[in-house]
Amino acid sequence: MHLQIVPASAGFKWAKQGMRTFWRQPLALSGLFFLFMITVSIISIVPFVGSALALIILPGLTLGMMAATQTATEGKFPMPNVLFVAFKAGPHRKTMFHLGGLYAVIFLGVMLISTLADGGTFAKVYFGGAQMTPDVVTADSFQTALWVSMLFYVPLSMMFWHAPALVHWYGMPAVKSLFFSFVACWRNLRAFAVYVLAWVLIFISTGVVALLISSLMGQPQLMTSAFLPMALMVAAMFFTSMLFSVRDCFSTDAFDEQAAPPP
């Protein structure tokens, strides 16, 4: 395995590959993403520890979506159990939970830092402990906490972007995977900037299409009903595209034999 530097245009290619692969198995990948969200939602409502547990399993479920994408690229139908492949008995399961624990601790640290800006209002809204009202959202302190959280979340997402794949398919320890993931994102920052921009434009286009549909029907109030399923589908495409960034940034001479997950 070696780190590979890719051109900025690779970011657009990853987005395109994600959409193309999604439409090979749209029902399966949409269903898996819905199962992803349902699993996180159910675990998060466990009293006292639900939010932390939901954060711990996020890297493993993200790996499950990557594994489902790999299965789809092989022309096979990804079954529901592939979403939980990271938690099955195997040599990397303990490391994956270690990775999830690190994600939970660092993320909660980011939320703790945001409380310095608004006394914890943003964190309460995020974890469902307070309602999101116009007065709350427009408050200067809330906006400051939001931007502070985003500032710290960017390096966090860079550390964990490739980490689940590096643990599961390349056998890296948790901390080492975070380091290599961050370096890969940093060295390919232009490609990831194009990648993020592409998906922002796709989400905006989805909203425009939903608005046009509701307007043509003469019922603008139906925009939310039209936008929600379309947004969920685009989110599933986004998760489908993540695998291709891993395959480009961490290239090996025999990826398909050594790094690809089993069917």
**Sign of the dihedral through C-alpha 21, 26, 27, 31:** positive
Q: Tell me which amino acid residue 104 is.
A: A
Q: Tell me which amino acid residue 45 is.
A: I
Which tens digits make up the pLDDT trace of 58-115? 999 999 999 999 999 998 999 999 999 999 878 889 999 999 999 999 999 999 999 9
Give the single-character DSSP code of 261. Answer: P
d(CA 212, CA 61): 34
Q: Tell me which amino acid residue 21 is.
A: T
pLDDT of amino acid 12: 95
d(CA 77, CA 72): 6
Angle between helices 189-216 and 223-249 (to 10 degrees): 160
Mean per-residue pLDDT for 25-45?
Answer: 94
What pTM value is reported for the model?
0.89
Q: Can you give the residue ranges of every domain in the chain?
A: 7-258
- What is the SS3 assignment for 29? helix
Q: Which residues contact 221 (CB under 8 A, 6 or more apart)?
A: 214
Mean per-residue pLDDT for 137-157?
Answer: 92
pLDDT of amino acid 150: 93
Which tens digits make up the pLDDT trace of 170-197? 889 999 999 999 999 999 999 999 999 9
pLDDT of amino acid 222: 67
